[in-house]
Each structure stands twice: as structure tokens, then as C-alpha cells.
Amino acid sequence: MPIVQSTYKAPYFFRKGFVSTVYSGLFRSVNGLQQERERIELSDGDFLDLDWSFAKAKTNKLIIVLHGLEGNAQRPYMTGTAKLFTENNIDAVCVNFRGCSGEPNRKYYSYHSGATQDLHEVVQHIIESKHYSEIYIKGFSLGGNVTLKYLGERDNVPSQIKAGIAVSVPCFLKGSALELHTFKNILFHDRFKRYLVERLKLKQKQYPDKLKIEDINSIKTLNDFDNIYTSKAHGFIDAQDYYEKSSSLQFLNNIKTPTLIINALNDSFLSPECYPVKEAKTNSNLHLEMPNYGGHVGFVKLNKFYYNETRALDFITNI
């Protein structure tokens, strides 16, 4: 599919990627959305909490929304999408990854950029217990990588899945990991690391036989975190093995579901490989949009909804 020409025009003060990223993450608010929580039990004995929002009229359409690293279903980028879609007669379910809903998950392992089994179980739960015949999946950042990997790694995507949207997606994890460790991203790196380490301390109290406090204290970088916890807890050799096997880039050629990727060219988290031009040009189902501005999940518009939200609605309406 030819590369999509973006129509996004950032307000003047939000043309800096850093500004749009920070503002959207720390200062944006979305009001008026109601969410109802459903807990589902997973096949391995763990659980996921799903936060549902419903359109005013009964509908057979649903969007599944996936958050990024250390996010949750209440982040404005999640609730903004849910609010826009419910106002357009499409129900929304915002998924909290394991341990992200305010309560620690039961298992030692949790979630990661390539963990698609939980999404698979969410989709199956919805298909088996709900009434939706048209389902869309929208993922942000880490959740975007999960979305693309889920759609590309299997040949039997359920027929109810009609489209995918991935926003600010680090589809080449090794490259994004390197970018996050550069000086330009030091504030973001340290914020992520601090939250992850605090969560890991709680996990260590649950499983003192699996993780030593000395190991946690040795974590100085996100790469250390992935070497010590993410990779080992989820069956990878080390961080590099995790990045290699979990990156969605290698699965893009196999995507058969209409899919939109929106990656801003001034997203400081993304390496050059995260703009899969070749893959988009050779796969008619893959639509790649690369706005000049937007930062990381920061496609600000000076009205109620962000560009990535209205663009996602437009995409699923016109496929």
C-alpha cells in the first residue's frame, strides 16, 4: 500500500516532539466518560481487568484499546479514544495489562511488548460472550507493538476483527531501546525506570524466592530491567533476545487485516527501523502514516479529540 499522506497539522506550540509528548502525558484530561470494570480469568490462573464504555444505542461494533508501558485504561490517550468512539455508536473496552489496573497480578511474570496471548484471550472472551460482529483493535506504543504482532503472527485472525490501528509504535524494539537510552530521552528513560523498579519491588515481596532485592538495586537502566526481569520472567535469554523475538516489524508482511500505523517523524522514542516504508509498500493491508509532528502519543488538536483518535475513526469507517 502506498504511504499515506498525513493531514495532521500541529498547533504551533506543539510542533516540538518533547512538548507534545509531555503535555499529552501529564496535562491532558478527558472528562465525561463512564467505565464499567469486568474481570476475566485467564487460562494460566491470572486475571485481566477490562474497563468498558458503551454507546447510547445498542451496537454490534467494538474497539479494543491497549495502553503503553506503565499505562492503564484511565490514561487520557485511552479514554480519549473510548469517548470518541462511543459518541459515534461504537462500544469501547480499554484493557489493563497484567498488574496495571491498581492490583498486582498473581503470577511472577506480567506483560511485555510481545505478549499477545492475553490479547488473544480477550478477543476470544469477547467473541464467545458478547454480541459484536465488527471488532477493531487500537494499540499505543507497547500496545501498538502487541497489536501488530497479534495481527501478523497468526494466519487465523478471527473474522470479527476488521481493522487494527497502531499509534507511536516501536515496532523494532532494539532500535527503540537504544533511542530511550540516549541523552535526549533521559527524562523519559528515568521516569519509566523509576515506575518499573517500584513495581518490581512489590513483585519481589510476592516472589522473594525468584528475585533478590540486590538484583533490583543493581538496575540502573531500562536495559538492566529487561535483562534482570522482563527477559527472565517471560522465557527469553536476555534483553536482546526479548527485543528480537518480540518486535512486530518481522510480522508486518503477514498482516492480512486492514491496519493503520501512525508514527510521527519527530517521535524521539523511535529508531529509523520503526518507519516500515518497505513493508507498507509491499503489503496492501498495511497503511503507514508518518506525520511530521506528534511526538510520542502526542497528536494534539485544540479541540476535544486528538488527531490519532479522529484518524482512527475515519480509517475504520472507510476501510
The CATH code of the domain that includes 16 is 3.40.50.1820
Confidence (pLDDT) at 303: 81
Q: Which residue carries 510481545 as its cell?
A: 114
First to last CA, the chain: 13
Average pLDDT over every residue of 148-174:
97
Whether 72 and 219 share a structural domain:
no
Average pLDDT over every residue of 184-194:
97
Of 197, 217, 246, which residue is a domain's last? Answer: 246
Q: Which residues contact 47 (CB under 8 A, 6 or more apart)?
A: 39, 40, 41, 98, 105, 106
3-state secondary structure of 221: coil
Whether 167 and 227 share a structural domain:
no
- pLDDT tens sequence across 106-153: 999 999 999 999 999 999 999 999 999 999 999 999 999 999 999 999
User: Rounded to an integer, what distance in angstroms lies between the CA atom of residue 30 and that of residue 76?
Assistant: 6
> 211, 204 in Cβ contact below 8 A?
yes
Confidence (pLDDT) at 235: 98
Whether 222 and 262 share a structural domain:
no
Q: Using the predicted structure, report yes or no on whether residue 17 has a pLDDT greater than 80.
A: yes
3-state secondary structure of 159: coil
In a domain, 1, yes or no: no
Average pLDDT over every residue of 13-19:
97
Crossing angle between the packed helical segments 173-180 and 239-246, to the nearest 10 degrees: 130
Of 246, 276, 301, which residue is a domain's last? Answer: 246
- pLDDT tens sequence across 21-53: 999 999 999 999 999 999 999 999 999 999 999
Whether 141 and 197 share a structural domain:
no
Grid coordinates representing 120? 488473544
- pLDDT tens sequence across 51-110: 999 999 999 999 999 999 999 999 999 999 999 999 999 999 999 999 999 999 999 999
User: Rounded to an integer, what distance in angstroms lies between the CA atom of residue 48 and that of residue 214?
Assistant: 30
Q: Using the predicted structure, report yes or no on whether residue 304 has a pLDDT greater than 90.
A: no
Whether 155 and 27 share a structural domain:
yes
| Segment (H or E) for 135 | strand 134-140
What value does the mean pLDDT of the chain take?
97
Whether 100 and 147 share a structural domain:
yes
Confidence (pLDDT) at 243: 98
* pLDDT band, very low/low/confident/very high, at 2 (cuts 50, 70, 90): confident
Q: Which residues contact 127 (CB under 8 A, 6 or more apart)?
A: 135, 158, 160
In a domain, 4, yes or no: no
> 1, 281 in Cβ contact below 8 A?
yes
CB atoms within 10 A of CB 220: 10
In a domain, 6, yes or no: no
In a domain, 200, yes or no: yes
Contacts 24+ apart (CB under 8 A), 213-220: 219/193
User: Rounded to an integer, what distance in angstroms lies between the CA atom of residue 97 and that of residue 119?
Assistant: 9
- pLDDT tens sequence across 252-291: 999 999 999 999 999 999 999 999 999 999 999 999 999 9
Per the structure, the count of domains in the chain is 2
Q: What is the DSSP string of 195-217?
A: HHHHHHHHHHHH-TTT--HHHHH
- For 275-286, letters b (16+ CB in 10 Å) and e give bbeebbeebebb
In a domain, 130, yes or no: yes
Whether 115 and 76 share a structural domain:
yes
> 132, 126 in Cβ contact below 8 A?
yes
CB atoms within 10 A of CB 191: 13
- pLDDT tens sequence across 209-266: 999 999 999 999 999 999 999 999 999 999 999 999 999 999 999 999 999 999 999 9
The domain of 199 spans: 173-246
pTM check: above 0.95: yes
Average pLDDT over every residue of 196-201:
97
